[in-house]
A and B are shown apart, each in its own frame.
Chain A
Amino acid sequence: MINELLLQFGHWLEAQQYSQMLVAGYYSYSWLEATHVLTLMVSIGSLFIIDFRMLGWVMPNVPASIIAARLHKPMMVGFAIMFITGALLVYAKPVETIQSLWFRMKMILLLLAFINAWIFNNRLKGAEGNWDNDPVAPKALRTGAIISLVLWCGVVTLGRYIPYDWVDCTNTTNTAILWAAGCVDQLNAL
């Protein structure tokens, strides 16, 4: 049911004039993709520096809370650009993206990464004490940092897989993959 609704939504988006213009433009899609990828250096670059500091890998002599607070703004600006360009990339190729197994897995990891970030922030605010100047953060924050690193590595890797067609609807007959990727037509044809 949800797959049918998503596919209908994808077809509706694909019929939009601006969606077609984004794909048809010689450079527009490439520029969007380039901006999406290059902004990684700001968003994930800043996030990883915060996580590395929690683990004591970089700048152990700088208070961890200062690093997290000062990098918050550039990181959020980076993520905002990534989400806008990411949404436009989906808008440009909605059916293809909605039926991508990698895209769906990426969205799940993104959701988990945001839940982890929310928990991490709450723990950071709640972990007041004299640990701030310690080279390594308390265990709860270190765990949050490791989970964050793993999830974001997964998000980037799955994002990199999206252009590849190994498990596209037309390239597989595995029912589980077809269902997970939302290949409605191929499932109906089986």
Chain B
Amino acid sequence: MLGSILSQYARTLSVFAALLVIVLVEVLGIREAIYPGLEGFFNWMNQSSWLGVLGTTYGSVYATVEAVHLLSMAVLGGAVLVTDLRLLGVIFRDIPSETLVTGTHKCFRWALLMAILTGIFCAAGVANKVYFMEVFWIKMLVLFAGSCFMLFIKQPFLTSRPHAEIDPWMIRLLAITSMLTWFTVAATGRWIGFS
């Protein structure tokens, strides 16, 4: 009985377990204990890793990768908006929401992958600064939570059954959560540039 319930909600439970770990890491003071140890890694990323050296030596390369990062975020935003505005019934009301949920997901995954890869390069170039920025860690946390939410909760849930069988408020809640999450990721990213 318990086994069948667990297997049915394996992904959801995994995400909740990951979130629980994050909360415990914070509550038990593990983050505070780990944080100073990460400074060496961030300094190495900035000064010794080839990503950091490339980013700090060649400003034009850094700026170009930043542009690719922005473009990836734009595509990601487009895919999220198309899906979520349809789930909220704002646009594409004449197209089944199931079609858009599956049709944009590949685009979302590629954009997310590109954003993460270019984001690592950008972070390496200023690693010795972002390490001390609270907004950077908030972005990382929201990015991690948002990726888990999209890949392990929202998408599997919305593709598991016809949307007519799902409570409309649940669908709206998923769409709003998704839009807020990715807006926060983009906004905190922009704020890193100002800090």
Q: A-side interface residues toward B, CB under 8 Å?
A: 30, 33-34, 37-38, 40-42, 44-49, 52, 57-62, 66, 70-71, 73-74, 153, 156-157, 159-161, 164, 166
Contacts and interface: CB of A to CB of B under 8 A. Distances in A.
Contact of A74 (B73, B91, B104): B91
A164 B71 contact: no
Given A34-B190, A58-B79, A156-B71, 7 more contacts: A34-B191, A40-B70, A45-B78, A45-B79, A52-B107, A59-B99, A157-B67
A34 B70 contact: no
Interface stretch (B3-11, B26-34, B58-66): B58-66
Contacts of A42: 77-78, 81
B103 A41 contact: no
A156 B81 contact: no
A159 B92 CA distance: 31
A60 B148 CA distance: 27
10 contacts: A38-B190, A48-B74, A49-B78, A49-B107, A66-B92, A74-B81, A156-B67, A156-B71, A157-B67, A166-B59
Given A41-B74, A59-B104, A160 B91 contact: no
A156 B74 contact: yes
B132 interface: no
Contacts of A73: 91
Contacts of B81: 41-42, 45-46, 74
A70 to B, nearest CB: 5
B183 interface: yes
B164 interface: no
* Contact-residue size bin, chain B (C-beta under 8 Å from the other chain): 35 or more
B106 A58 contact: yes
What are the 7 closest A-B residue pairs judged by CB atoms, nearest first?
A41-B77, A45-B78, A59-B103, A157-B67, A160-B67, A45-B77, A44-B74
- Say whether chain B's binding surface is mostly helix, strand, loop, or mixed: helix
Interface centre among A41, A47, A57, A60 (most CB of B within 10 A): A41
Contact of A164 (B63, B75, B76, B187): B63
A105 B184 CA distance: 31
Contact of B107 (A44, A58, A164): A58
Interface of B: 59-60, 63-64, 66-67, 70-71, 73-82, 85, 91-92, 94-95, 99-100, 103-104, 106-107, 182-183, 186-187, 190-191, 194
B100 A59 contact: yes
A74 B84 CA distance: 13
Contact of B190 (A37, A46, A62, A70): A37
A48 B77 CA distance: 10
A58 B66 CA distance: 25
Given A52-B107, A62-B100, A40 B85 contact: no
Given A34-B191, A160-B70, A161-B63, A71 B91 contact: yes
Given A58-B103, A66-B95, A48 B78 contact: yes
Contacts of B67: 153, 156-157, 159-161
Contacts of A59: 99-100, 103-104
Contact of A160 (B63, B77, B191): B63
B190 to A, nearest CB: 5
A44 B78 contact: yes
A17 to B, nearest CB: 24
